[in-house]
Amino acid sequence: MNRDEALDAVKAYVSNANLIKHMVAAEVCMRALARRLGEDEQKWGLAGLLHDIDYDSAGADPARHSLVGAEMLEKIGVDPDVVYAVRVHNECHGLPRISAMDKALHAVDPLTGLIVASALIHPSKKLAAIDVGFVINRYHEKGFARGAKREQIALCSELGMELSDFVGVCLKAMQKHAAELGL
């Protein structure tokens, strides 16, 4: 599956425009991390782009979310490594995250939300206006963007990355795609 096919699948199964932007944000972060870590950018990007494909059908039920998505992706012939990363990005299943791609997707998922929320509280409401320090300060504010699980983001350490470096790679990637993300 190539990127265009994946985006078509996302648009066919996901109705919420903001969720699609989140999935694109995860894609660009995953591609940037793959590039940084010497991994397969195409495969990592697909994992980011497809990770919430089941949200309309199973997202309200955490016990089903990501399991349904993995089944959907298996049926359309997505690479098994990508399917597994999608399956294990939802921590409620207790499945082991084995590969670097699995671990990256798990940590990227909430980080994209934290970055977007950080941009939205800035007066300009633009990604270009914020920097790593701004996001890190928001990270340490416990009441800010509560849905962005800090302990999950902190698992970037499993990739051998410091938090500020991880945030920097993802923020820069999202800034390059700000128009597509609407920020």
- What local confidence, expressed as pLDDT, does residue 119 receive? 98
- What local confidence, expressed as pLDDT, does residue 89 receive? 96
CA atoms of 132 and 37, how far apart (whole Å): 19
Percent of the chain with pLDDT over 90: 98
- What local confidence, expressed as pLDDT, does residue 60 receive? 81
Percent of the chain with pLDDT over 70: 100
- What local confidence, expressed as pLDDT, does residue 126 receive? 97
Please determine, for residue 59, whether its predicted confidence score (pLDDT) is greater than 90: no
Phi and psi, residue 182, nearest 5° = 75, 25
Phi and psi, residue 150, nearest 5° = -65, -40
Whole-model pTM: value is 0.97
Please determine, for residue 51, whether its predicted confidence score (pLDDT) is greater than 90: yes
Architecture of the domain made up of 3-181: Orthogonal Bundle (1.10)
- What local confidence, expressed as pLDDT, does residue 154 receive? 98
